[in-house]
Amino acid sequence: MNDALLTTSLGDMPLTARGKVRDLYAVGEELLFIATDRISAFDHVLGSGIPDKGRILTQLSHFWFDLLADTVPNHLLAKPSESLLAKIAPYRAQTDGRSMIVRRAEMFPVECVVRGYISGSGWKDYLATGSVCGIELPQGLRESERLAEPIFTPAAKINTGGHDENISYQTMVETIGAEYAAELKRLTLAIYAKAAAHAASKGLILADTKFEFGLVEGKIVLADEVLTPDSSRYWPAASYAPGGPQPSFDKQYVRDYLESIHWNKQAPAPALPDAVIERTREKYLEAFRLITGRAGIDVSGG
Q: Is 24 in the site for ligand Q0Z (CB under 6 A)?
A: yes
Q: How many residues bind ligand Q0Z (CB under 6 A)?
A: 17
Task: Draw the binding track, 98-137, toward ligand Q0Z (x: CB under 6 A; -: no contact).
Answer: ----xxxx-x------------------------------
Cβ neighbourhood burial of 294 (10 Å; 0-12, 13-18, 19+): exposed
- Give Cα separations from 204 to 136, 137, 146, 257, 286 (angstroms): 27, 24, 14, 24, 11
What is the Cα–Cα distance from 24 to 156, expressed in whole angstroms? 21
Q: Which is nearer to ligand Q0Z, 160 or 239 (CB)?
A: 160
Please select the residue that binds ligand Q0Z; options are 77, 223, 269, 297, rule is CB under 6 A: 223
How many CB atoms are located within 10 Å of the residue 92 CB? 14
Contact code string over 189-208 relative to ligand Q0Z, x by CB under 6 A: --------------------
- Per CB under 6 A, the list member of 53, 75, 87, 251 interacting with ligand Q0Z is 75
The answer to whether 22 contacts ligand Q0Z (rule: CB under 6 A) is yes
User: Nearest distance from residue 256's CB to ligand Q0Z, in Å?
Assistant: 28
Closest to ligand Q0Z by CB, 94 or 246: 94
Stretch that binds ligand Q0Z, among 16-24, 60-68, 110-118, 185-193 (CB under 6 A): 16-24
First to last CA, the chain: 20
Distance CA 284, CA 53 (A): 7
Cβ neighbour number for residue 129 with a 10 Å cutoff: 11
| 8 A C-beta contact, residue 233 and residue 120 | yes
Residues 68, 222 contacting (CB under 8 angstroms):
yes
Nearest CB to ligand Q0Z, comparing residues 159 and 264: 159
Q: Does 297 bind ligand Q0Z (CB under 6 A)?
A: no
Tell me whether residue 289 is exposed, middle or buried, using C-beta atoms within 10 angstroms of its C-beta: 0 to 12, 13 to 18, 19 or more: middle
* Among residues 33, 64, 211, 234, the one that binds ligand Q0Z under rule CB under 6 A: 33
Interface positions with ligand Q0Z (CB under 6 A): 17-19, 22-24, 31, 33, 75, 102-105, 107, 214, 223-224
